[in-house]
Amino acid sequence: MDGFTYYNIFETKGMEYLIIITFLALLIPFSIILNRKVKIKKQIQKVMGILTSSILKIPQGVLYSRSHTWAHLSKSGIADVGMDDLLLHITGEVRLNYLKKPGEPIAKGELMTEIDHQGKMLKIFSPISGQVMETNSLLIESPGILNEDPYETGWIYKIKPYNWKSDTNSYYLSDAATIWSKKEVERFKDFLAVAMPKHMPDSSAVAMQDGGELRDQLLAELPDEIWCDFQKEFLNNQ
């Protein structure tokens, strides 16, 4: 037939294209299934009350201090600050006692608030220096917001920084923050291995779930002495 040309795909690159298309058709469902399994595993761990690094919220644009506070600078030049998700998973639900009012200055490393769980207290220090612009009044009436959404609605202060760059140059960001959080979970396990026998030698309390995983919100069940040791080990580092 005039004007008609026949191509044998097996003699051209058509076969290569078919292989690629077939590979992608198999890969996409596999990827979806794999991601779904990871999400399901995280949900199971959360429901079972297991604390692992995989269930932690770690926004990648936030700066994290060694004292388990965070800071995020907005385009307006005002920074939100708060407590990180790991600390709140360790303590469980807490109430805040504010120590600063809008308009007051605050220095990096200065006490910015205390958290209270049934009379057991921890001191939380500011990750940056600046002027307090606003406190989060929602946390007074609904302290559970801290645990539910620590990086959005659960911020504690809005601060106008004095020395943002120098205050935050040693903080963790992005992948470094994820790696650090994993190490902190392991360090908390090591801490418990020392603190619980020291302060609770006759206790039958179990810190781990079956399989060696940490129980979520474990510190809430432990005595004041362990809270004091936790303060020194994890929160007094700047």
**195 & 92 share domain:** yes
Show Cβ contacts of residue 221 under 8 Å, excluding neighbours closer than 6 positions. Answer: 205
Where residue 111 falls among pLDDT bands split at 50, 70, 90?
very high
Does some domain include residue 61? yes
Count of domains for the chain: 2
Q: What is the pLDDT of residue 48?
A: 39
Which residue has 């921890």 as its token pair? Answer: 122
Q: Is residue 219 part of a domain?
A: yes
Residues 117 and 79 reside in one and the same domain: yes
Q: Are residues 17 and 93 in the same domain?
A: no
In a domain, 70, yes or no: yes
40 and 81 fall within a common domain: no
pLDDT grade for 5, boundaries at 50, 70 and 90: low
* Residue 146, domain extent: 55-238
pLDDT value at position 184? 97
pLDDT tens-digit series, residues 125-163: 999 999 999 999 999 889 999 999 999 999 999 999 999
Look at residue 2 and tell me if it is in a domain: no
Mean pLDDT, the chain, rounded, equals 84
User: Of the ranges 9-18, 91-100, 110-119, 176-185, which one carries the lowest mean pLDDT score?
Assistant: 9-18
pLDDT tens-digit series, residues 210-226:
556 889 999 999 999 99
Whole-number Å distance between alpha carbons of 74 and 55: 26
Q: Do 162 and 129 meet the contact criterion of CB atoms below 8 Å apart?
A: yes
4 falls within a domain: no
The domain spanning residue 172 has which CATH number? 2.40.50.100
In a domain, 29, yes or no: yes
